[in-house]
Amino acid sequence: MFYVSYIFSELRRRSGRTILTALGLALGVGLVVTVSALASGLDRAQGEVLKPLTGVGTDMTVTRPISFDTSGGGFPQLSEEERRQLQEENGPRRFGLRNLGKPGTKFSRDDFVAATQLSFPASTVSTIAGLAGVAATAGGLTLNAIHVEGTVPQETQQPQRGGVFAAPGAGPQVVGPRNVDIDAITVSGVDQTNRELGAITPGQISSGRYFSDSDSREAVLDAAYAARQGITVGETVKLGGKPFTAVGLAKTPLGGQSSDVYVKLAQLQALSDRKGRVNTVYVRAKSSEQVGSLARHIRETVDGASVTTAQDLADRVTGSLVDAKNLAGKLGTALALVGLLSAFLIASLLTLSSVAKRVRELGTLKALGWSQWLVVRQVSGEALLQGLLGGVLGVLLGLAGAAAITAFGPELRATFESAQTALPRLGPFGQGATPTASTDVSLDAPVSASLVALAVGLALLGGLIAGAVGGLRAARLRPADALRRLD
């Protein structure tokens, strides 16, 4: 107890120096708290943006993308068999109105064409599931559903390129001849038996519910698509001529495998005449450390496979959010480090200066029989208490900084560059490039309890370093030398 009251007495006597040292540490610690809170806020904002991209629990998606040679080369990467399969899945490049009946005859037809991925047997899902490091897999099928209806005109007109088919997700288009209506939407088949993996998961349902396990025709609609179309939960939507009950609405991903409508996988396979085929495999790895090696393994195992990891998706996000994150990650960290080191340096120098001014006192203590350890402990105790004071002040400064960021921080924009193969506006099968999408997120700077603990810990460390430096110097003083300096 005596030692503690001695420490307090000394700090009180040198209150100016105590406050100066504590403030020095507080500035460094406050900077660390603010920058860490900012980084945490940016992480959270990025997580908010990326969550719908990656899907809950999905570490990677496996597809078989088609790259189209616009110079007339077609699909150079596909084998003859694959080309035949592609042709079979997507049907004729054009349909002739003349073939639909006599002029004045009403017609209606539905086609499902591949988007930008080649399908593969569902057995591939099992193949991937068997690889080491795979925790779970689920198959999926994403297609463009094209509905054309109208009356065969007197003068048959072939749809113009760029006029019939529109980009997926762009809503219903009436771009053909005036008496022909064409709707093109994207639809994904979801393996509803595997609720944690797939194009949508129960966690993404914003209204209504997820698919039931029954065989009833159910659809989950993209919330934005439903709003555009004025469709609410409980209404019926038609797909391939069949009625589906809209059981829920889902928040659509910012980019990647977004669709307008989601139905059960088996029903989409049946409707599109693609029984036993999928074009996306959702994979969850056993651990995040295995994602990289597993992605390589899948590429080696599945011919032509493209593996997209959550990190790949994160890398495609650009905009002010990423700029801010990079800035906080590099400049912010450097600033915090410099601030902290400066604070430690200031605290150490002030403690050394304090020791230099107390040579007589410390020499007297040694003359009275205080051991080196006791002298070091006394000086370190004072520095440690200064550190604690600095830590508390630093946390307060950091909280103020974080509050200022939350109050006055700008809205940050995240832009997602689509990963899909950019085909011509009107591809041979009608598919278009998915447009670049953006979203705004508000910036905040949360200060967690662990961050507060870290800040106080850093300040105490600063105090300890300063105390150790000063204490050791004090301890090395020979009492005779210390007392001799008095004269």
Partner 1 sequence: MTVTELTTTPIYELRAAGRRFGQGGAQVNAVREVDLEIGEGEFVALVGPSGSGKTTLLQLLGGLDRTTDGEVLFEGRDLATLGDGALSALRLRTFGFVFQQFNLIPTLTAAQNVEVALAPTHTGSAERQARVEALLGSVGLAGRAGHLPSQLSGGEQQRVAIARALANEPRVVLADEPTGNLDTTTGEEIIELLTSLSSEGRQTVVLVTHNPEIARRASRVLQMQDGRLLAPAVPEELVAGGDRTRS
Query: What are the residues binding partner 1 (CB under 8 A)?
Result: 1-3, 5-6, 9-10, 12-13, 360-361, 364-372, 374, 478-480, 483-484, 486
Closest approach of partner 1 to the CB of residue 370, in Å? 6
Contact 117/142 with Cβ under 8 angstroms?
A: yes
CA Rg value for the chain? 34
Nearer to partner 1, 45 or 359 (CB): 359
Q: Do 398 and 35 meet the contact criterion of CB atoms below 8 Å apart?
A: no
One-letter identity of residue 220: V
Comparison of 224 and 483: residue with beta carbon closer to partner 1: 483
Contact between residue 284 and residue 134 where contact means Cβ atoms under 8 Å apart: yes
Q: Where are the alpha helices (DSSP H) in 202-290?
A: 223-229, 265-271
State in angstroms the smallest separation of the CB of 366 from partner 1: 7
Nearest to 91 by CA among 272, 275, 304: 272
With the CA atoms of 364, 370, 374 and 379 taken in that order, what torsion angle do they form, in degrees rounded to the nearest 10? 0
Shortest distance (Å) from residue 369 CB to partner 1: 2
* Least distance from partner 1 to the Cβ atom of residue 373, Å: 9
Place of tokens 């080491």: 132
Shortest gap between Cβ of 456 and partner 1 (angstroms)?
A: 27
Structure token pair of residue 69: 């040679």
In the bound state with partner 1, the residue whose beta carbon lies nearer, of 367 and 404, is 367
Least distance (Å) between residue 319 CB and partner 1: 58
**How many helices (DSSP H) and strands (DSSP E) are in the chain?**
14, 16
Residue closer to partner 1 by CB (options 2, 408) is 2
What is each CA distance from 34 to 30, 71, 84, 195, in whole angstroms? Answer: 6, 54, 59, 40
Residue 76 or 369 with smaller CB distance to partner 1: 369
- In whole angstroms, how close is the CB of 16 to partner 1 at the nearest point? 14
- Minimum CB separation from partner 1 for residue 347, in Å? 21
Shortest distance, CB of residue 6 to partner 1, whole angstroms? Answer: 7
CA distance 199 to 286: 20
Closest CB 38 distance from partner 1, rounded Å = 42
Maximum C-alpha span of the chain: 122
- Contact between residue 148 and residue 180 where contact means Cβ atoms under 8 Å apart: yes
Ramachandran area for residue 363 (φ above 0: left; ψ -120 to 50: alpha; else beta):
alpha
Name the residue nearer to partner 1 (CB basis): 209 or 478.
Answer: 478
- Whose CA is closest to 329, among 321, 339, 341? 321
Residue (222 or 382) nearer to partner 1, CB: 382
Element containing residue 474 per DSSP (H, E): helix 449-476
Residue 394 structure tokens: 């630093």
Q: Which residues pair with 308 in a beta bridge?
A: 61
User: What are the two backbone dihedrals, phi and then psi, of residue 413, each rounded to the nearest 5 degrees?
Assistant: -110, 130
Nearest to 309 by CA among 326, 325, 322, 296: 296
Compare residues 93 and 485 and give the one whose CB is closer to partner 1.
Answer: 485
CB closer to partner 1 out of 50 and 365? 365
Nearest by Cα to 6 from 340, 271, 382 = 382
- Among residues 12 and 275, whose Cβ is nearest to partner 1? 12
